Each structure stands twice: as C-alpha cells, then as structure tokens.
Structure 1
Amino acid sequence: MLLEEKNVIVTGGASGIGLASVKRCLEEGASVVIADIEDSDGAAHAQKLDNQYSGRCLFKVCDVTNTAQVDKLFDDTVAELSSVDAVFNNAGIGGLCPSDDVSDDEYLRIIDINLNGVFRVARAALRVMYRQGSGSIVNCASILGVFGQSQTAAYTAAKGGVVNMTRTLGIEAAPKGVRVNAIGPGYIDTPLLEALDDDMLQGLIQLHPIGRLGRPEEIANAFLFLASDEASFVTGAHLLVDGGFTAGKS
C-alpha cells in the first residue's frame, strides 16, 4: 500500500476531488482527516468512512480563510495522530464574471480562498513537516494556472499564483526533507459543472483531446502518486492532469 501508516489531511475533502482523494488514501492504508467548512457533508462522510476503514477517518472543521482554524487543524491532527505526512491543499471555489463588472468583495473572496488559503495551509503544514524532517504537500492548481480564460480574472490570478508559489515552496522545503508539488486538473466531472447546459458541457468536452471530462478519481490518483514515496524525486512541479487540454489544438 502506497500510504500505509501515513497520516493525510485533505482540505475541501467533503466533496468532489477532495472526497475522491480521501477514499483513495484510505484504500492505500492512510489515516485521513477530512477538513472542510462546518456546513459541509464532511462529518457524515467521515463517520461512514471511519466505520468502513476501521477508525482511520475523521472530520475537522476548517475554513481556509481563517488562520486560527487552519493552525488548529494541524495542531489537533498532530495531537491525535502524531504526524502529518501528506496534505492535499485542495479547498477552492470557482467564479465567472466579466472583469469590468466583478466587485471588490467577490474578487478578494476568490483570491482569499484559492490563493491565500493555499498559503495558510501550506505554511501550517511546513511548520509541522520541518519538525518531522519529512512530508509532502500537494496544492490544487488548475489548467487556468498556465493560461487565461475570459471572465476568470480572479480565478486565473489565484491559480497562477498557486503554480509559482508551489515552485518557491518546493525550493525552500527541499533541504528540510519536504516536497511541495501542484496538480493542474482539466475540467472534472464534479457537482461544480451541474449548472452548465448541454451545449456548454459539450463545448467543454470538445476542448479535451481525450474526448471526455476528467473523473475525480483521476485527480485523486495523481495526488496519491505525489504524496507517496513513489514521487520521492519530484518537487516544485505542476503536474497537469487535463486530458490534453493544455497540449494544444489538433
């Protein structure tokens, strides 16, 4: 098992890519903390998975815009599990709005969750992992971290920041035994896309040379690789898992 006896935190772990990653880590032998906001389904999922995997899953309330909650998440995890071996820094939100119409509040909200929140979690993780002398942090970036798309100024700014932050953190952390990488998902078949009509959905599918949207489990598998010792020589990388989206047009 790739993560046997490892302790993993997944932010945004109550749904979509996060929940798929929680399940894959449990299958590979890890103990997993689902970290999500209070009104998520995290507690219910954790209870069910804890029963299924013999006491290896728990839920912690964490809003990544709240530094005190982020720090408490790591303090409590160390107190209960003794270490934090891997983190999937996955919590995030979307948002579409023309740049000339987006409000300050909405722009700053997207930046605070998708960029500042990633930093808050990474900082807390580094403090723990530096004391341990080991660990793996995986930040969830995006294909929109490497190219632009109309009506996504805040989102693309945040995800581009995550990509370059990952490089910097990877350089800083490497001498201390900690690896920091990012995943760049293409469009993934999650509840976030349920609001799209059929024409928009088909348009998105056609942008992926592989001919379909991604599945949450496929991003989870990428996280599993980067979190594990299989990726022991990988740090500062942005692994695109996008069905060929960013490779170009045929």
Structure 2
Amino acid sequence: MYDLAGKRALVTGAGMGIGQGIAVELARCGADVAVHYAHTPPDETVREVERAGRRAHPVQGDLSRVPECERVVEEAASSLGGLDVLVNNAGITRALDFLDTDEETYDAIFDLNMKGYFFCARRAVPYMLEAGSGSIVNITSVHGFAGFPHHTAYAATKGAIIAFTRQLAIELAGRGIRVNAIGPGLIEVPRYYDIPGYSPEQGRELVPWGRVGKPKDVGPAAAFLASDAADFITGQILYVDGGTTARMGLWWEQGEQPQ
C-alpha cells in the first residue's frame, strides 16, 4: 500500500468497474475520495470508502459538458477542503464498424472520453497549485497502443488521452503537478457479460498472464502514481494488462505454423 494520508482525491466514473476499484484503493491508502457518477448512485463505492475509514462524497454530473466538468470538480474540492489527486476515468465504449460510426456516436465518445478529461483537469489544476503539488492520473487503454476490430473511434480517444497526458505533464512539470496515465488491458467489468459468448475462460486465453484482470488490479497502480513514491515519474503510460501489449502481434499457439 502507498501512503496517501491526508490526500483529497476525485475519481470520475467511480460507481462501478475500474473507477470503483481505484476509488476504494485510494481510500485504503489513506485518501478521502469524491466519488463521481453519471447515473446510478455509487452506494457500494461510498460504503467501501467509508469502510476503509475515509470520507466519501458522491457527486453526480455529465462530464461530456464543460460546465458540468467544472461543477463536479468544484463540488469535490469544496466537500474535501481542496484537491490533491484527480483520476480521470469516466468514459464510454462503442464497438462499431468504422463505416457504421456516425457523427452522433463519434461526438458522444469524444465528448466524454477526451473533452471530459481535458476540462476536469483544467478546473482541478488551480486547486493543486493552491495545495503546492498534485497528481493527475488519466485512464487510457491498450486500445491507445494497438488496434482491434470495431473500436476506431474509441481507440482514437484513448490515443488522444496518451498525447494529452504527455503534453500536460510537460506543461505542469515546473509547477509541482505530475501527470501520468494507466492503460488497462482486458479488465472484467459488468458490461463484458453483455458481450455474446464472453466468459472468463475465453478471456484468459487472450492474456499472456493467464487470467482476466479485475478492477482491483488497476487500483494499486493508480495509488502508486498518485503517491509521493512516484515523485520522479511524470508523462508516463503504465500498462496494466497482463502482458498484452508486450506480446508480438504475429503470435501463434506453440506447435502451430504461421499462415
């Protein structure tokens, strides 16, 4: 566990899945957490944060809209007495063939996945400057590293997040604010079970480490990057993917011949 005692964090999209795993881990490491959600109240996340002995403040908002980004950050900072950590996690995925991706879908993906990150960070930075330091952790994806069918618009947002992370890290490096990103791989979240034919057994065949990831696998990486243990780390992308991005794309089963 990393020491986040006294830190005040906002985690967006923390009602379930990866965001929930991150929010709970930050609390276990000592941070008070503002738990952002879009629709369903994040009761379970709030309970887990409080069970860890930390303050939890739920805050609702549509982060595809700039005024909402600003309000969510302001409410989080007001409730916690400031802001030291921002984890930009809220996002959506749309699996569509490139030729079936219309303007409405494209805008919906970019407005939340990229614009939401940008403007939440823009509003959070003044609070971090006031505190004298800060850490921003952006959640990207292995889709920002390499291609996969039917994810063109989604992957474009995740690639944009990587570029945004590196650029913002340089802009803020002289002001005591670090900016890094985490690229999760195959992390089992509730929506996976809406995919026809999905099972953990099927998923583990795709991951070199031999199992599907869980949200709790991402939490410690976020806690590390948010903590003083990562004081000399900024502008970096940490892939939490069980080896997925390390494997050569021309891989085949042992004993089989490449086609």
When normalised by structure 1's length, the TM-score is 0.93
In the alignment, structure 1 residue 236 sits paired with structure 2 residue 235: yes
Q: Which amino acid aligns with 2:205?
A: Q
Query: Retained in 2: the 8 A contact 1:46–1:58?
Result: no
Give me the whole-angstrom Cα distance separating, in 1, the residues matched to 2:199 and 2:58: 35
Q: CA deviation at 1:14?
A: 0.4
1:1-250 to 2 correspondences below 5 Å:
2-37=3-38, 39-42=39-42, 44-45=43-44, 47-49=46-48, 51-54=50-53, 56-198=55-197, 202-249=201-248, 250=251
Distance 1:50 1:99, change over 3 A: closer
Gap change, CA 1:184 and 1:46, over 3 Å in 2: closer
Aligned residues: 248
Give, in angstroms, the shift of residue 81 of structure 1. 2.0
- Rounded to whole Å, the distance in 2 between the matches of 1:246 and 1:202 is 20
Query: What is the deviation of 1:18?
Result: 0.8
Q: CA separation in 2, counterparts of 1:88 and 1:8?
A: 8
For 1:12 and 1:2, the matched residues in 2 are separated by: 23
Indicate conservation of the 8 Å contact 2:33/2:49, yes or no.
no
Q: Give secondary structure in 1 for the equivalent of 2:194.
A: coil
Q: Check conservation: 1:167, 1:181, Cα contact below 8 A.
A: yes
1:81–1:200 Cα change, 3 Å: closer
User: Taking every aligned residue pair, what percent have the same amino acid on both sides?
Assistant: 35
- Contact (CA 8 Å) 2:30, 2:54: kept in 1 or not? no
Return the offset for 1:15.
Answer: 0.3
Gaps of 5+ in 2: 252-259
Pair 118,47 (structure 1): closer, same or farther in 2 beyond 3 Å: closer
Preserved CA contact (<8 Å) 1:84 1:128 = yes
* Larger radius of gyration between Structure 1 and Structure 2: 2
Deviation at 1:199, TM superposition (A): 5.9
Question: Following TM superposition, by how much is the alpha carbon of 1:75 offset from its aligned partner in structure 2, in angstroms?
Answer: 1.9
Partners of 2:233 and 2:53 in 1: CA distance: 32
2-side partners of 1:55 and 1:201: how far apart? 33
- Partners of 2:109 and 2:245 in 1: CA distance: 23
Deviation at 1:200, TM superposition (A): 7.2
- Cα distance in 2, alignment partners of residues 126 and 55 from structure 1: 23
Shift of 1:110: 0.9
Deviations 1:170-229 (A, max 9, x none): 000110000000000001011121112446765543221101111111101110100111
SS in 1 for 2:208: coil
Instruction: Give the TM-score taking structure 2 as reference length.
Output: 0.90
Corresponding residue number in structure 1 for 2:257? none
CA distance in 2, matches of 1:200, 1:115: 30
The letter of the residue matching 1:218 is D
**How many Å separate the matches in 2 of 1:41 and 1:159?**
26
Is the 8 Å Cα contact of residues 63 and 112 (structure 2) preserved in structure 1?
A: yes
Q: How far does residue 77 in structure 1 lie from its aligned partner after superposition? A: 2.5
Q: Secondary structure at the match of 1:73?
A: helix
Cα distance change of structure 1 residues 161 and 48 upon mapping to structure 2, 3 Å threshold: same
